[in-house]
Amino acid sequence: MSEKRKDKNGRVLKEGESQRRDLIYQYRYTDIRGKRQTVYAPTLQALRQKEQEIQDRINDGIDYDAGQITVIELLEKYISLKMGVRYNTQVNYQFVLTLVRKEDFGYRKISTVKVSDAKQWFAKLQRDGKGYSSITCVRGVLKPAFQMAYEEDAIRKNPFMFKLSDVVVNDTVPRVALTEEQTEIWMDFIRTDKTYSKYYDEFVVLLETGMRVSEFCGLTKSDLDFVNRRIRVDHQLIRDSTGRYYVEATKTTSGCRFLPMTDRVYQSLKKMLERRPKAKKEMIVDGYSYFIMLDKNGNPKIALHIENEMRWAMKKYKKLYPDNPLPHITPHVLRHTFCTSYANAGMDIKNLQYLMGHSDAGVTLNVYTHANYAHAAAQLLSISELSRKSDLKREGYEDNIPTKRVLKA
């Protein structure tokens, strides 16, 4: 029986361990690619700590390849590879990870999850009170995470490749655009109210440009071209949960655009700059400064400020006019209203897509515009009348008088 290797202090060394003449400890091992590697440490304790870390990494790789990691561990692995994502995406990842950590499903080995298991879990989430949009959010992260595992042969099939609406009920409240009458009522209330009239110009700009509220908050004085009456939109202002401000690119590359100033927008922006409080020190955020809207502390306004303005104003309106209710109004509702109004007015869809900053005209058509009976009926009658006149002309009749046809000589 061969004698076990020992160090200078007489301690028995494990396989792969040795002590050099200079008393430095070393450990030789074979990595997952089959290559021999060596690590060094001044003490045996430090060396064995490195050995444990190496073994953990090797085991992690083996467990992943065999599909033996949990759903939570797969999510953590997937999210760790997503570098440089937007703040909102990071928040979304953390929301999903927190939710899954609270569920027994999160502790399942990924190799044991079947399609039926995934469907049953989503159905459970809805029974537990989770909304369709939240479940969609969860699936939006789990599906690509499992796809990564499938493409790396860690599992035999992605269990999330199914139509979500076949499993859970879509209880999402449809986005609502204000009618012309509702818009007039709301804006008149804001304009004449002693408390909220100071926000009137902000609401005018949102309503008549269709900007995303974060784009609006990101506007600086240099983005406003009063000579040519246009607004440059190429970034948005965000404040994260720690209170840190930063500037981010627009939601899509198509979000970079110029928006024309209507007369009302022109006047409102002028008034906003005139009333803008003088900051003791202008905040510079990622190279941008002189934001056109400031809060009471002299810091740039963010989306939450404007959302709260509308929420408080809405609360007061409901109290004063309980018999004349309005839909719940948010900055995004004004964006919907802008898009729907111009679509109903007959604006070319590609031009409307540009103004909205959408990368796909389908989003403009299917998500943001809302048909209603009045506009549909008016357009039908208009087209019908044009068609009738065309038929009469083809038959040799003139229709100068609606109730009487005159045969051409």
One of 212, 235, 336, 375 is an active-site residue; which one? 212
Is 354 catalytic? The answer is no
- Told to judge if 8 belongs to the known catalytic residues of this protein, a careful annotator would answer no
- Catalytic residue selected from 25, 196, 288, 368: 368
Q: By three-state DSSP, how is residue 4 classified?
A: coil
Long-range CB contact pairs, 362-370, < 8 A, 24+? 364/339, 367/175, 368/175, 368/177, 368/335, 368/336, 368/339, 368/340, 369/177, 369/339, 369/340, 369/343, 369/344, 370/175, 370/176, 370/177, 370/336, 370/340
- Annotated active-site residue 328? The verdict is no
Q: Is 264 a catalytic residue?
A: no
Active-site residue, from 119, 232, 270, 332: 332
φ/ψ region of 347 (left if φ > 0, alpha if ψ in -120 to 50, else beta) reads beta
Q: CA 23 to CA 330: how far, in whole Å?
A: 70
List beta partners, residue 260: 230
The residue written with tokens 């948005």 in the block is 236
From the candidates 50, 191, 251, 270, give the one annotated as an active-site residue: 251
**Amino acid identity, position 242:** T
The CB density around residue 58, as the number of other CB atoms within 10 Å, is 14
Is 246 catalytic? The answer is no
Q: Would you give the DSSP letter of residue 41? A: E
388 annotated active-site: no
Helical pair 200-209 and 331-344, crossing angle rounded to 10 deg:
40
Q: Select which of 336, 358, 370, 375 is catalytic.
A: 358
Among residues 301, 335, 370, 375, which one is catalytic?
335
Known catalytic residues?
212, 251, 332, 335, 358, 368
